[in-house]
Structure 1
Amino acid sequence: MLLVGDDWAEDHHDVEVMDAGGRRLAKARLPEGVAGMARLHALIAEHSGDADVEDVRVRVGIETDRGPWVAALVAAGYAVFAVNPLSVARFRDRHQVSGAKSDAGDAHVLADMVRTDAHQLRPIAGDSAEVEGIKVVARVHKTLIWDRTRHTLRLRHSLREYFPAALVAFTDLDAPDTLELLGRAADPDTAKRLSFNQIRGSLVRARRRDVETKAAEIQAALRAEQLGQPPVVTAAYAAATRATIAVLATLAEQIIGLQGEVEAHFGRHPDAEIILSQPGMGRVLGARVLAEFGDDSTRYASAKARKNYAGTSPITIASGKKRTIAARHVHNDRLLDALIAQAFVAMRVSPGAHAYYQQQRARGSSHNAALRQLANRLVGILHGCLKTRTIYDETTAWQHHTTAAA
């Protein structure tokens, strides 16, 4: 048994090779890429003793689970453990209190962790290449949506500073008609000169309803008296607004295009039918859930393990006579976001999910807490469906809770 600690950086890796007794056998700084990986294999072979290299078991601790380097470690047959940096920091504090830290020292800590605590660590899942592809496009798609939200908030803040009438006229700042009209008239004086037909045309192109009424309301709001800024300041804000609008328009275009890629990749995965059968789950949401959970059938030993990874299950803090149950603050943001979105839709389309949500509310849970508990229950249902390779059935899924409530 050889233990390897790998403290990675963008262009190099500090590694340490340790034996099962905790004795350092070698340490080195390796370059990123093929040359560095070849040197790592040589180090392991050099210290494998008289045993056949293929018979040597190698555990690698590293603070990431992505990238070509990690893929090469897995392909070499090593047991690779992706260790949370917070765990590494806590483990380091077990052995020293000085606060000293170095890359070579972290490599030693990682090697020691996989030597003594491998049973407490999560090995990198053996996800398929198909699900890795889904993860790439689904994460980028969601990142673009978050970026659009950030730029929309920046636009709102900017308009509040010099053009408050726009916030009255346009309630949806990232809508196509809003972006078109603001791009054409980014300052109050120009906006006041927009004709009824110009506004109406933008609404028609955006396929709005009740176009005549809305066009009249927008025109009246833009022509209303308002407080303003000096002309030079207004001109500067208008230039910034036009730049933000250009970014938002590009983001909207790319989000739509990438959504097609997400749906196409997801539709080709064998788990797609099971995931789509779940209440509240669509193709984009399903792709996000599959990407973050992965498709390694051995990754989650039980429904509880999947719930813990999802961050939907509560944690218990007990000390003496004090016992507190709280939500998990450390979790996968992307996965929890998708699961909460599913729960919100599920309670509207699934009678069982709606009844379960109402039960939690009747017990005194807030809306957010009840929604999180519903998401937790839905994760358990999804785990059962994936384990048995069956699609969702409303009666089977909620029979236990319906019987208990009766």
Structure 2
Amino acid sequence: MTTEEGRRLPRFWCGIDWSEALNDVAVVDEHDQMVAHTRVEATDEGVREILALLRGLRSSHRHSRMQVPVAIETPHGLLVAALRAKGQPIVVINPSAVARYRGRISPARKKSDRTDAVLLANILRTDGGLHRAMPRTSEQAAAIAVLARAQRRAVRTRRYQANQVRSLLREYYPAALLAWKDLPDGIVRAEARALLALAPTPGQAAALSKRKIADTISGVGRSRLVDDHAERLRSAFHQHHLRRPPLIEAAMGEQIRTAVGLLDQACTAVEQLTEATTDAFQAHPQARVYASFPGCGPLIGARLLAEIGDDPDRFTVRGLRAYAGAAPLTWESSSSRVVTHRRIANSNLKAVGHIWAFTSLTRSPGCRAHYDRRREQGDRYAAALRNLYGRLLSSLHFCLKNATRYREEAAFPQR
């Protein structure tokens, strides 16, 4: 076979429409013809069947299944993990983008599993250059991503349960809200949860002795000014407030006891996941680079690493800032031109970036000066923090690329 004939060898693209039960697999060639189709389960046998199908598309020794990219709408699941472990290139396409492609080929936007698999393959065939394969993230970084995202979900769950408890207390137990109103974390504090579980109604709280209160709060970790705090709580519980009828108050006490139990579980989950996340992050080789940045503690560093990954070729500087929502977005048409912030971005990375930029203000003179300068130029609070976050990301990208630590004089040279 001549070189020119070798160049004209047909190419193939694969699409997988995933589901909980059967996954439709379709392969198209360069002439937009479906050359293979099957339905498999997310099992070892199903993975072997997919690989055998891709391998058998052409009998030539020039053909390899590694030359066939696979498009799918999710980066998660056992099927994706198994194909990646076998070295198969996987391209994840956002479901909203797939829906828009569906409207291009059919005004009625008809949908079926088989046609969706063909559609995914054709997206790679026509616009493959616009979609990149999944990054080569290490197993260690992937584990950090699992823990960091689980920790963030646990924090949201704790906030939800705390709001539920607060809402219930407003209905019949205002003394409990006032007792910890001026202390950090309020009713989420361990001593608050312990006392609410012990005395879930105003009547039971008023009957507590100072010694019982002191023993309860010291039993959950309070060691300073125990007697003073116990006396303050006892006085707060004895203040006069509006009360519910006894039977209703008792019923609401049982309700709050259950809600406090759920809040206890959420707090325990946050503590355990925070510890596991920070331990996994500090064991990663790139942890020292993240830790060298101002305001980037173990938890913030773990969340950043979870979303950025440790593939050195995944991002350019501009790509990383756009992915994190720290790069401006320009809408330009005819004579109008609007520059606004980027709303379509990695929401997890965008959220932790705001926290990171805020905490750096008190730990880095350069960050503070940059923020103040942006404010003087007319930026609002969020815009100035977003710009500072983009600047920090640029420095982080450089340090990760060159395996060096953060240097203030290089990141924010004095003017």
Q: Is 1:354 matched with 2:368?
A: yes
| Inter-partner Cα distance in structure 1 for 2:223 and 2:365 | 33
**Equivalent residue letter for 2:343:** H
Shift of 1:115: 0.9
Verify the 8 A CA contact 1:59 1:78 in the aligned structure 2. yes
> What secondary structure, in the 3-state scheme, does the structure 1 residue paired with 2:188 have?
coil
Cα deviation code 1:146-196 (max 9, x no counterpart): 111110011111111222221111221110010011111111111121222
Q: Is 1:9 matched with 2:19?
A: yes
Alpha-carbon spacing, 1:130–1:56, altered in 2? closer, same or farther (3 Å) = closer
Q: Is 1:28 matched with 2:43?
A: no
Shift of 1:279: 0.9
| Inter-partner Cα distance in structure 2 for 1:218 and 1:324 | 55
Matches within 5 A, 1:4-403: 4-54=14-64, 57-171=67-181, 172-205=186-219, 206-207=221-222, 210-300=225-315, 302-399=316-413, 402-403=414-415
Verify the 8 A CA contact 1:131 1:290 in the aligned structure 2. yes
Cα deviation code 1:55-113 (max 9, x no counterpart): 76101111111233212222333321111111111111122221322222221211111
| Inter-partner Cα distance in structure 1 for 2:55 and 2:99 | 30
| Inter-partner Cα distance in structure 1 for 2:317 and 2:50 | 38
Shift of 1:213: 4.7
Cα deviation code 1:287-319 (max 9, x no counterpart): 11111100001101x211111111222211122
Shift of 1:220: 2.8
Note the residue ranges of structure 1 that are not aligned, 5 or more in a row: none
Shift of 1:254: 3.0
Shift of 1:283: 1.1
**Equivalent residue letter for 1:245:** V
Shift of 1:49: 4.3
| Inter-partner Cα distance in structure 1 for 2:98 and 2:198 | 54
Name which of structure 1's ranges 342-351 and 51-60 shifts more when overlaid on structure 2. 51-60
**Equivalent residue letter for 1:370:** A
Name which of structure 1's ranges 260-269 and 113-122 shifts more when overlaid on structure 2. 260-269
Alpha-carbon spacing, 1:55–1:71, altered in 2? closer, same or farther (3 Å) = closer
**Equivalent residue letter for 1:239:** E
| Inter-partner Cα distance in structure 1 for 2:364 and 2:124 | 45
> What secondary structure, in the 3-state scheme, does the structure 1 residue paired with 2:345 have?
coil
| Inter-partner Cα distance in structure 1 for 2:26 and 2:52 | 13
Verify the 8 A CA contact 1:13 1:29 in the aligned structure 2. yes
**Equivalent residue letter for 1:260:** E
Name which of structure 1's ranges 106-115 and 218-227 shifts more when overlaid on structure 2. 218-227
**Equivalent residue letter for 1:221:** A
Shift of 1:198: 2.7
Verify the 8 A CA contact 2:55 2:64 in the aligned structure 1. no
Verify the 8 A CA contact 2:194 2:217 in the aligned structure 1. no
TM-score normalised by length of structure 2: 0.91
| Inter-partner Cα distance in structure 2 for 1:375 and 1:55 | 42
Verify the 8 A CA contact 1:48 1:56 in the aligned structure 2. no
Verify the 8 A CA contact 2:331 2:339 in the aligned structure 1. yes
Verify the 8 A CA contact 2:71 2:120 in the aligned structure 1. yes
> What secondary structure, in the 3-state scheme, does the structure 1 residue paired with 2:378 have?
coil
Cα deviation code 1:206-256 (max 9, x no counterpart): 436554554343333322222233333323322221112112222322322
How many residue pairs are counted as aligned between the two chains? 400
> What secondary structure, in the 3-state scheme, does the structure 2 residue paired with 1:61 have?
strand
| Inter-partner Cα distance in structure 2 for 1:282 and 1:382 | 14
> What secondary structure, in the 3-state scheme, does the structure 2 residue paired with 1:117 have?
helix
Verify the 8 A CA contact 2:165 2:256 in the aligned structure 1. yes
Name which of structure 1's ranges 126-135 and 218-227 shifts more when overlaid on structure 2. 218-227
Name which of structure 1's ranges 163-172 and 72-81 shifts more when overlaid on structure 2. 72-81
> What secondary structure, in the 3-state scheme, does the structure 1 residue paired with 2:187 have?
coil
Cα deviation code 1:269-300 (max 9, x no counterpart): 11111111011111121111111100001101
Shift of 1:346: 0.5
TM-score normalised by length of structure 1: 0.93
Note the residue ranges of structure 2 that are not aligned, 5 or more in a row: 1-10
Q: Percent identity?
A: 33
| Inter-partner Cα distance in structure 2 for 1:42 and 1:389 | 41
Alpha-carbon spacing, 1:376–1:209, altered in 2? closer, same or farther (3 Å) = farther
| Inter-partner Cα distance in structure 2 for 1:275 and 1:315 | 27
> What secondary structure, in the 3-state scheme, does the structure 1 residue paired with 2:362 have?
helix
